Amino acid sequence: MTLAKTKSVSLLGVDGYVVDVEAAITSGVPGLHLVGLPDTALSEARDRVRAAIYNSGEDWPNRHVTVSLFPASLPKKGSFYDLAIAIALLAAAEAVPPRSCAGLVVIGELGLDGRVRAVPGVLPAVLAAANAGCRTAVVPLANRAEAALVPDVEVIGTATLRGLLAILRDEAPPVEETDAEPDPPPAAHDGLAGRVPDRRAVLDLSDVRGQAEGRRALEISAAGGHHLYFAGPPGCGKTMLAERLPTLLPQLEPDAALEVTAIHSVAGTLPPGQPLITRPPFHAPHHTASAAALAGGGSGRVLKPGAVSLAHRGILFLDEAPEFRWGALDVLRQPLEEGEVRISRAEGTACFPARFTLVLAANPCPCAAATQMDCSCAPSARRKYQSRLSGPLLDRVDLKLELAPASRAELRYDLEFAEPSEVVAERVAAARERTLKRLSDTPWRTNSEIPGPEVRRAFTPSAAAMGAVDAALQNGSLSARGLDRVLRVAWTIADLADRDEPDADDIGGALALWMGRRS
């Protein structure tokens, strides 16, 4: 009996587990037996591996071959393991030196012609392999750049099985490996789904005229990570403002960039060549999106992250929010509370990070008339439309603002007063710095992350400044949970003003934004 071993990775959500791939050749009826894969994946993998080995000019070992993937209990969906199975099998047949593949972690789908196809999730897979002590990873050439983001791992990118065999045999690479497919052109890699790639680069807050309150709310949201709701008639600039929120946010820290990139790797939305996502994502699902599209899951072979995870560490923008399907927005509750979504399937529970700033926009009524005078909706229809956003959802939104259209004078003459994103982003960065200093001994990084009990314990401003909220608590217009939210925003306003503690004005401003303010 000859034996050979290599490794691969099983992915559940963005969590990877190293899988041992072992091949044994024994006497017995010729054939390939795969152990440790679910039935359908098993027969598909067997067919692909066999065709790919033939078409790469290798001899098929005409013996009894068993390849086992261990532990069998780990979920093994998709075609992640083709290349590892082929390599282990050929090593057991001594077509390549068995020692050459023993320390490798091998990831890749095989085409029938022996081509190595890109697979989603290579970055989290290689991260997991690195954490388990693997030092060399073989990945599809098209996924090489994202795998190379993982520190301390040597990455071998291969376009064909033949090319990988040459490397393992210490031979010169075959010709087709040197003229492998050119990289496709870069796509949008900031999660701005369905938009032209470079559109974001040209968005700037100075495009928005007037709307001082709207701009201010964006600044507070950017500084503290507070959820935001814009109501107002069509054409008043709600979408325009929301789309410019990312321009106020700082770059992602290196660990956050890797975390975000791992999610987009599983989603299969990374551009080849320059895969690291360094800007906070902006994800704007259409209002026809299903609950599954928002939360993640899907019926494909690999669990896909949903909109809430594609927006992780960035913005989830729900434009025309009341138009979303009944119930679809309920899936936001878990990520808003816990910063992650869990998706249960027969093979286990996948967990995707989902910590985002929620931005909602809504017209006042379904007919989308520009003014209330033009509106043809019955008052009950207007009320019903506005109540489609559930109380529990709006309760989690710190900043609520009703926008009026910019006046004609503002649209014409406000050009030179409209601050550009760069200037506002500097104030946001300074405020975040201040927050960070105050929270340096805590796990939280922005004011919106501080848990309620902690806000009340350590971040209650002086009684003298609390007059407005005391009155609101007394007359019942503010709940205990609302109080926590108001105080968090008040701290952000104080941080933006470079004050040590919120004063009465900061708290009053925060309270007004919580209650819903008309501009």
Ligand X SMILES: Nc1ncnc2c1ncn2[C@@H]1O[C@H](COP(=O)(O)OP(=O)(O)O)[C@@H](O)[C@H]1O
CB of 73 to ligand X, least distance (A): 50
How many other C-beta atoms are found inside a 10 Å radius of the C-beta of residue 262? 32
Tell me the number of residues near Mg ion by CB under 5 A.
1
Give, as ranges, the residues between 235 and 254 that touch Mg ion (CB under 5 A).
Answer: 239
Q: State the alpha helices, DSSP H only, in 114-253.
A: 122-131, 144-147, 161-168, 175-178, 199-202, 212-224, 238-243
Take residue 357 and report the two structure tokens written for it: 């700033």
Q: Choose between 201 and 370: whose C-beta lies nearer to Zn ion.
A: 370
| Rounded distance between C-alpha atoms, residue 80 and residue 344, angstroms | 21
β-bridge mates for residue 64, sequence order: 26, 31
Whether residue 156 contacts residue 175, with contact meaning beta carbons closer than 8 Å, is answered with no
CB of 358 to ligand X, least distance (A): 17
CB of 368 to ligand X, least distance (A): 8
CB of 290 to ligand X, least distance (A): 23
CB of 234 to ligand X, least distance (A): 4
DSSP, collapsed to helix, strand or coil, labels residue 258 as helix
Q: Does the protein bind ligand X through residue 406 (CB under 6 A)?
A: yes
Q: Which stretch binds ligand X (CB under 6 A): 194-202, 228-236, 290-298, 472-480?
A: 228-236
CB of 389 to Zn ion, least distance (A): 16
| Rounded distance between C-alpha atoms, residue 231 and residue 253, angstroms | 32
Whether residue 276 contacts residue 149, with contact meaning beta carbons closer than 8 Å, is answered with yes
46, interface contact from ligand X, Zn ion, Mg ion, none, CB < 5-8 Å by kind: none
| Rounded distance between C-alpha atoms, residue 58 and residue 217, angstroms | 64
Comparing CA positions, the residue from 471, 506, 505 lying closest to residue 489 is 506
| Rounded distance between C-alpha atoms, residue 360 and residue 335, angstroms | 16
Q: Which stretch binds Mg ion (CB under 5 A): 104-112, 234-242, 260-268, 394-402?
A: 234-242
| Rounded distance between C-alpha atoms, residue 207 and residue 311, angstroms | 24
Whether residue 13 contacts residue 352, with contact meaning beta carbons closer than 8 Å, is answered with yes
Q: Does the protein bind Zn ion through residue 167 (CB under 5 A)?
A: no
Near ligand X by CB under 6 A: residue from 85, 220, 236, 252 = 236
180, interface contact from Mg ion, Zn ion, ligand X, none, CB < 5-8 Å by kind: none
Near Zn ion by CB under 5 A: residue from 118, 153, 166, 377 = 377
386, interface contact from Mg ion, ligand X, Zn ion, none, CB < 5-8 Å by kind: none
Describe the crossing of helices 212-224 and 421-438 by its angle, rounded to 10 degrees: 40
Near Zn ion by CB under 5 A: residue from 212, 240, 292, 367 = 367
Q: Does the protein bind Zn ion through residue 365 (CB under 5 A)?
A: yes
| Angle 211-486-247 from CA coordinates, rounded to 5° | 40
For 52, what's the count of Cα atoms within 13 Å in the CB-facing half-sphere?
30
Strand ranges inside 339-415, DSSP E: 340-345, 348-353, 357-362, 399-402
Q: Choose between 20 and 213: whose C-beta lies nearer to Mg ion.
A: 213
Take residue 191 and report the two structure tokens written for it: 């999660």
CB of 369 to Zn ion, least distance (A): 5
Q: Does the protein bind ligand X through residue 404 (CB under 6 A)?
A: no
Q: Does the protein bind ligand X through residue 247 (CB under 6 A)?
A: no
Q: CB-based contacts of 66: which residues, under 8 Å, 6+ apart?
A: 23, 24, 26, 33, 34, 35
Q: Which DSSP state fits 355?
A: -
Give, as ranges, the residues between 178 and 217 that touch ligand X (CB under 6 A).
Answer: 208-211
CB of 364 to Mg ion, least distance (A): 13
| Rounded distance between C-alpha atoms, residue 159 and residue 110, angstroms | 10
367, interface contact from Mg ion, ligand X, Zn ion, none, CB < 5-8 Å by kind: Zn ion
Q: Does the protein bind ligand X through residue 36 (CB under 6 A)?
A: no
Q: Does the protein bind ligand X through residue 375 (CB under 6 A)?
A: no
Q: Choose between 295 and 403: whose C-beta lies nearer to Mg ion.
A: 403
Element (H, E) at 310: helix 307-310
Take residue 59 and report the two structure tokens written for it: 């001899």
365, interface contact from ligand X, Zn ion, Mg ion, none, CB < 5-8 Å by kind: Zn ion
Q: Which stretch binds Zn ion (CB under 5 A): 65-73, 175-183, 364-372, 425-433?
A: 364-372
Q: Does the protein bind ligand X through residue 237 (CB under 6 A)?
A: yes
154: left (phi over 0), alpha (psi -120 to 50) or beta: beta
Q: Choose between 166 and 404: whose C-beta lies nearer to Zn ion.
A: 404
CB of 413 to Zn ion, least distance (A): 31
Q: Does the protein bind Mg ion through residue 290 (CB under 5 A)?
A: no
Q: Does the protein bind ligand X through residue 240 (CB under 6 A)?
A: yes
CB of 192 to ligand X, least distance (A): 16
Residues that bind Mg ion (CB under 5 A): 239
Which residues form the interface with Zn ion (CB under 5 A)? Answer: 365, 367, 369, 375, 377
